[in-house]
Amino acid sequence: MTGINKAACIGGGVIGGGWIARFLLAGIDVDVFDPHPEAGRIVGEVLANAEKAYAMLTGAPLPPRGRLTFCKTLEEAVAGADWIQESVPERLDLKRRVLTEIDAVARPDALIGSSTSGLLPTDLQRDMTHPERLFVAHPYNPVYLLPLVEIVGGEKTSAATIRAAMERLAPIGMKGVHIAKEIEAFVGDRLLEALWREALWLIHDDICTVETLDDVIRYSFGLRWAQMGLFQTYRIAGGEAGMRHFLAQFGPCLAWPWTKLTDVVDLDDALIEKIGQQSDEQAAGRSIRELERIRDENLVGILQALKGGDGGKGWGAGKLLKDFEQSLWAQGGRAATSFHPSKPLKLVETKVGPAWVDYNGHMTEHRYLQVFGDTSDALLRLIGVDLAYVEAGQSYYTVETHIRHLGEAKLGQAIHSTCQILGVDEKRLHVFHTLYDTATGEALATAEHMLLHVDSKAGKATPAPAVILDKVKAIAEAHANLFAPEGVGRHVGQKR
């Protein structure tokens, strides 16, 4: 995949901040220009949220965070960048002026994306000397978690620019979707606008409150749309008779007098106040910060759930996350071969996410084994047992496990694990993991495992090849000098 080397972000509000977080967490240096006096604070808050979310989202090894620099001038920020993202307020004259300034100082081969949620790229690129490299890259809030970027070209945008832009989004975990023709508001905001207008009428006419309307969405079609969208869902609704049958049946309804489609609601002070009051009631005292936290935790949970979709292969945004993690492991695995194993290997670092705790905030029993399993996986990748190796038909399987609980991991806590190799022969690999509270260094749990090298198809143990054994033996020899960890060889109920 072709990656971005250096990004420039012009405008650092909530959307610009989200882009900045995406780039930094993917290991890309970012230079920012934003004259707003609060820009540093806002970007810092978005970045803090993004880091919390990523820590829960994935156990894959993120690259070292990119370097963040606030620049005094636009020119300074843009210098040397190969992706420049403009996220200034939504006014055509302002955006046009900023993009023309960027155009004057950017590298000739730089890609220039605009975060506009509705302006036409043809209008934006009008005054540029190199308009072929300008495109709309419209993301969704929170940019650090929602993968979608609508990619839209204007009359003068080159096909090569669109291709290059699409290619560079996957390595930062995003999903570029190319909109074939430019229209105001593109696709997502057109759909949102249509529904939003109808929603305002329903509140205006006292058919329901904002809480009822939200409940109608989130207990029904919201759950369908998170995974399949509109048409695929209706394809299923059509059943064996198929999509054409469904449409033919549905067609007449469109002419029914079901919506206020010819009128635009007047969003006057009275309606604003009504919605504001109902929204306050719905929030039930929760602050915006708290709602943001809940939203992000839920997004993380949904993305992780979809990662298991389609029989474990991943579905939609979950498939994207799975692909992103695999590319991180591929890179992280390479970096990890330079480890010096003179002490237990530090292999997994993560945070206790909301889906991992019980109602009183303690990490659930089986999540301890999840971290220990991830630790074994990280060790295996380190010795060459990666996805390609497993797909070729051999692997290590855990056959026996002993866990001791020494303390409690709690929601939001940073934890990490280490691995000490106790023994290895042709077929067997004997390891001892420890899980730590990262802040205090306290050991929370230990796990002793026996793994067997197997031929997956035959379902039988088989000797590991030399290429693997050499790597694991090198670590095992270094670990032979370490003390045997406390608790090795224990059986359940044994006196201390």
Residues of span 204-263 touching its own copies by CB under 8 A: 205-233, 235-240, 242-244, 247-248, 250-251, 253-259, 261-262
**390 labelled as ligand-binding?**
no
Q: Does 146 bind its own copies (CB under 8 A)?
A: yes
Please tell me the distance from the alpha carbon of residue 134 to that of residue 162, in angstroms, as a whole number: 9
Interactions with its own copies, residue window 253-312 (CB under 8 A):
253-259, 261-262, 264-265, 267, 271-273, 275-276, 278-280, 282-283, 288, 291-292, 294-295, 297-299, 301-306, 308-312
Q: Does 484 bind its own copies (CB under 8 A)?
A: no
Please tell me the distance from the alpha carbon of residue 188 to that of residue 128, in angstroms, as a whole number: 27
Compute the chain's Rg from CA coordinates.
26
Closer residue to its own copies (CB): 25 or 56: 56
Closest distance to its own copies from the beta carbon of 433 (Å):
12
Closest distance to its own copies from the beta carbon of 32 (Å):
19
Closer residue to its own copies (CB): 46 or 81: 46
Q: Does 55 bind its own copies (CB under 8 A)?
A: no
Tokens representing residue 436 in the block: 């730590």
**183 labelled as ligand-binding?**
no
Closer residue to its own copies (CB): 336 or 355: 355
Closer residue to its own copies (CB): 255 or 439: 255
CB 422 within 8 A of CB 488: yes
**12 labelled as ligand-binding?**
yes
Closest distance to its own copies from the beta carbon of 130 (Å):
26
Angle between helices 188-204 and 269-283 (to 10 degrees): 100
Interactions with its own copies, residue window 368-387 (CB under 8 A):
368-370, 372-373, 376
CB 127 within 8 A of CB 96: yes
Stretch that binds its own copies, among 60-68, 91-99, 200-208, 476-484 (CB under 8 A): 200-208
Closer residue to its own copies (CB): 159 or 253: 253
Q: Does 92 bind its own copies (CB under 8 A)?
A: no
Interactions with its own copies, residue window 335-354 (CB under 8 A):
353-354
Alpha helices, H only, 337-364: none
DSSP reduced 3-state for 36? coil
Sign of CA dihedral 466, 468, 471, 472: negative
Q: For residue 443, give the H/E element and its range.
A: strand 443-455
Alpha helices, H only, 308-398: 317-336, 365-382, 387-391
Near its own copies by CB under 8 A: residue from 64, 93, 129, 181 = 181
Please tell me the distance from the alpha carbon of residue 103 to that of residue 125, in angstroms, as a whole number: 9
Stretch that binds its own copies, among 138-146, 158-166, 338-346, 476-484 (CB under 8 A): 138-146
Near its own copies by CB under 8 A: residue from 140, 332, 336, 471 = 140
Closer residue to its own copies (CB): 259 or 342: 259
Q: For residue 100, give the H/E element and its range.
A: helix 92-105
Please tell me the distance from the alpha carbon of residue 364 to that of residue 51, in angstroms, as a whole number: 23
Please tell me the distance from the alpha carbon of residue 364 to that of residue 336, in angstroms, as a whole number: 29
Closer residue to its own copies (CB): 44 or 361: 361
Interactions with its own copies, residue window 106-135 (CB under 8 A):
118
Interactions with its own copies, residue window 386-445 (CB under 8 A):
397-405, 408, 411, 423, 428, 430
Closer residue to its own copies (CB): 298 or 337: 298
Half-sphere exposure of 343 (CA within 13 A, CB side): 4
CB 419 within 8 A of CB 379: yes
DSSP label of 364: P
- The pairing of strands 134-139 and 111-114 is parallel
Give the binding-site size for its own copies (rule: CB under 8 A).
Answer: 163
Please tell me the distance from the alpha carbon of residue 431 to that of residue 396, in angstroms, as a whole number: 12
Closest distance to its own copies from the beta carbon of 39 (Å):
14
Near its own copies by CB under 8 A: residue from 127, 358, 442, 477 = 358
- 55: closest CA among 411, 474, 449, 464? 411
**15 labelled as ligand-binding?**
yes
Q: Does 64 bind its own copies (CB under 8 A)?
A: no
Alpha helices, H only, 26-91: 39-57, 74-78
Tokens representing residue 90 in the block: 């939504």
Binding site, annotated residues for NAD(+): 11-16
